[in-house]
Structure 1
């Protein structure tokens, strides 16, 4: 690779990383607000409710402690993913400042992969808890325990695992490169 191509590539990495740094900020805000929006702005989420284990009507019928506990349980996967996106944002910030093969952005990538994996594993459990909490007020025989799994969750599990392995490989490559530099 010529020096000009190398410079252009690094410039592109910095530019795209800066853009993705800000996209991650928007995604973090969305992750934090999505559950409250389900509760307080019904109608805008109708298309995404196919992933929910209970109906919006059941959620909106809740009051008191049930409403707040259910909302808190529903927030858990979103908050885990928001944390992962925060770490991804830090990685893009490091890339934007030329810290490409440094340990810090590699740790952020690994943390994002772990958060993605954790969120995917937690989501069916919180969905089941949400269905129980949302139907707890119903008479016996009408209460529901619902667990939702989809192909998207399986794909996300593999993606999270892939990101973790890539982070390990990059970490090892950076370590070997640092070791080789110390010999010269």
Structure 2
């Protein structure tokens, strides 16, 4: 069975409700994720933050750590950067889905929000890579010489997320060209 897409099927009530639901979920997550990460960063012991950053220290090294308040606060602040980038992306996705729910499929504004989502997710992964390194250095600054750590790690999840963000960016670029063509064709009618 072949289905043809028309303007009425793309903007039907079910599609509009689904787009509205996605917009609400994105809005909720854009606020809840930073709050949850802040809570986790504030309540996780220093050893847990180091493990999360990719630095695995022995029990002796952990016992020798002398982490001051400013180091801990800097680590928490740094840890918030990737989730804030992701939150920006989610706000853009919310606006994109809000446009979709109002049958605004091919507009430069919608494309701009879709690109903002891709940029936010891309920036979140890149920031996470550098933030992990910075947190490991900041939290081990007070350790004796030879006991400091610099953790570097990039896994398949990060690479797939970067690929996904790049694909969404490219889809938005194609949509921008489609919008430009549609506007050009509308001038001839």
TM-score, normalization by structure 2: 0.83
Q: Which residue does the alignment assign to 1:29?
A: 31
C-alpha displacement of 1:30: 2.7
Specify whether residues 29 and 42 from structure 1 end up closer, same or farther in structure 2 by C-alpha distance, changes over 3 A only. Answer: same
What's the CA shift for 1:50?
Answer: 7.0
Q: SS at 2:97's partner residue?
A: helix
Cα pair distance change 1:2/1:159, threshold 3 Å: closer
Deviation at 1:150, TM superposition (A): 0.6
Shift of 1:93: 1.0
Normalising by structure 1, report the TM-score: 0.85
Equivalenced residue count is 177
RMSD: 2.6
Q: Gaps spanning 5+ residues in structure 2: where?
A: none
Structure 1 residues not aligned, in runs of 5+? none
In the alignment, which of 100, 108, 120 is matched to residue 105 of structure 2?
Answer: 100
- Give per-residue Cα distances to partners, 1:104-156, cap 9 Å, x unaligned: 01100011111211221221111000111111121111111001211011101
Q: Paired residue for 1:140?
A: 145
Q: Which residue of 2 aligns with 1:159?
A: 164
Q: Decide which structure has the larger Cα Rg and report it.
A: 2
